[in-house]
Structures are given as C-alpha cells and as structure tokens.
C-alpha cells in the first residue's frame, strides 16, 4: 500500500478505500449503538427484578408475549448477519439475546441458545490485563440462571413437590456462587464488570431465599442461614459505606434499574439473617 502512494491515481484509490473503510466501521458502530438503544428503550417498559417483599418477578403482561423485545432481537440478528457472528461485538450481543429471553421468562428459547451463550462467554475474557468483562460473567453463569428462574417462574402453590424445587434452586444458587468465588476479586475493577457480579450475587441470594421458603413449606429441618449466605455473597461487591447505607432503618427510594436495588436486598437479608 505504501508503494501505491507514489502514484496520484493510487493515492486517490487509497483515499477511497480508507473513506469506505471508515464508513464501514462507522456504520458498524452505529448499528451496535442502535441495538443497545433499542434494548434500553424496550427494557424501560418493564418491571425491575423482584424486590424482597415480592419474591416472584412481576412481569409486565407484554413480557409473556413473543413480541416482547422483538425490536431488540431483530436488531441483534441483523447485526450478526451483516457483520458476522464471530465478531467480538456479536458475542456480546449473543449474551444479551440470552438475557432477554431470561427477562421475558422465555426459558425454552434461553435453553435453545445456552450452548451459544456459553461459547461466546468463553471468548470474551478481556485481554486488558485479564480483567473480566460483564458479559463473560453472565455467560458462564447462564445455565444456572436458567435452572433457577425456571423453578421460580414455574412455581405453583398447589404443587407439593417443594423438596425437588428447593434442591434445584439450591444447586443453581450454589453454582453461581462458585463461579463468582472462583474468580479473582482484583479483576472486577471495572464498574460494568462489578455491576455484572453484583447482579449475579443478588440473583443467587434470591434463589437462596426461595430455598428457605420452600424448605419451610416442605417442613424440612434445616440449620443453614440462607439469608446470611445471600447477604455475604452480595457484600463482596459492596463498599463499607454502601453496606452501612443498606442496613439503615429508614427507607430509601428505588430506581427501576439501580444499585439501590442491590442495597435494598443486602439490607433485607442482613435483617433477616440476625433473626
């Protein structure tokens, strides 16, 4: 390419190539931004994860419809078709697609792409000093997320099979906890990565609370402090100041998607753990 610069025509052609290349990458970046903006807009229509006072997720009715997140899923597929499924950005979008199905309660679809999500996760280890990326954390725990939420979404008060349910939930929570505990804390320095870690820790804590509740229903004696187990897992991702805020008696407002939700869970679990 350097040799071509000797010729005026070659320079012109080179500039044309560079310009078209910039347009390509600009177009790719714009397409990726469109995916995330579409997802954020659609996500804003729905409820946040369950609060301690209501363990069962409160899903907007639209979430149970196959049209939920239809625009986001369409943008994801369009991006992968145009730019290639093996691109790093496409791997991130593979994780996002899986999380969308989880958020919709469409666990069958989540299970269908579980292998793809887990494969994408293994290819997303950051090369920046080995720091973990958020989607890597979500992807390696995806199977446990499916397993746990399946028990929650399918729970039936009339079903007396609580024993089997709490064992599956316990296994899902323990699996997430093992994944988080096996990773080096020093590599969670990035705020987005930390947010992924605390999301997973809180999800495991929710499963542990379900285990406690189902054990009670099944009249199964148990000395494990499930509340403390969940609290301590979340606590690994909170600062001391955040823990102090979380355990105050006065209420603080919730944002739909906010770190305050995690603090609320920590405070609730800390209070229950002491009883």
Q: Using the predicted structure, report yes or no on whether residue 274 has a pLDDT greater than 70.
A: yes
Query: Closest Cα partner for 96 from 28, 229, 196?
Result: 196
Judged by DSSP in three states, 156 sits in coil
Q: Using the predicted structure, report yes or no on whether residue 201 has a pLDDT greater than 90.
A: yes
Break the chain into its structural domains and give their ranges.
Answer: 1-124, 141-275
In whole angstroms, what is the distance from residue 196 CA to residue 201 CA? Answer: 9
Q: Using the predicted structure, report yes or no on whether residue 81 has a pLDDT greater than 90.
A: no
From the centroid of its chain, how far is CA 51?
Answer: 17
Three-state DSSP string of 41-106: HHHCCCCCCCCCCCCCCCCCHHHHCCCCCHHHHHHHHHHHHHHCCCCHHHHHHHHHHHHHHHHHCC
The answer to whether 48 touches 256, Cβ cutoff 8 Å, is yes
In whole angstroms, what is the distance from residue 49 CA to residue 43 CA? Answer: 12
What number is the average pLDDT over the span 130-156?
85
What number is the average pLDDT over the span 130-152?
86
């Amino acid at each position: 390419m350097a040799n071509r610069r000797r010729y005026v025509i070659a320079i012109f052609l080179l500039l044309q190539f560079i310009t078209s290349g910039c347009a390509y990458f600009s177009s790719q970046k714009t397409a990726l931004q469109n995916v995330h903006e579409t997802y954020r807009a659609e996500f804003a229509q729905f409820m946040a994860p369950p609060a301690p006072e209501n363990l069962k997720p409160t899903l907007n009715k639209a979430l149970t419809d196959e049209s939920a997140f239809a625009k986001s899923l369409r943008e994801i597929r369009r991006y992968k078709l145009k730019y290639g499924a093996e691109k790093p950005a496409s791997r991130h979008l593979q994780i996002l697609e899986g999380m969308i199905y989880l958020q919709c309660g469409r666990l069958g679809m989540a299970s269908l792409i579980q292998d793809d999500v887990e494969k994408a996760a293994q290819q997303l280890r950051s090369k920046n000093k080995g720091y973990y990326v958020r989607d890597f954390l979500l992807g390696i725990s995806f199977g446990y997320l499916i397993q746990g939420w399946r028990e929650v979404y399918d729970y039936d008060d009339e079903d007396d099979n609580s024993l089997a349910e709490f064992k599956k939930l316990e296994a899902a929570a323990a699996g997430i906890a093992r994944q988080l505990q096996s990773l080096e804390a020093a590599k969670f320095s990035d705020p987005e990565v930390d947010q992924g870690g605390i999301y997973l820790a809180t999800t495991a804590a929710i499963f542990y609370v379900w285990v406690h509740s189902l054990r009670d229903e099944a009249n199964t004696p148990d000395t494990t402090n499930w509340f403390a187990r969940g609290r301590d897992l979340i606590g690994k991702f909170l600062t001391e100041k955040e823990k102090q805020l979380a355990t105050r008696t006065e209420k603080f407002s919730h944002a739909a998607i906010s770190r305050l939700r995690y603090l609320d869970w920590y405070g609730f679990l800390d209070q229950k753990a002491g009883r």
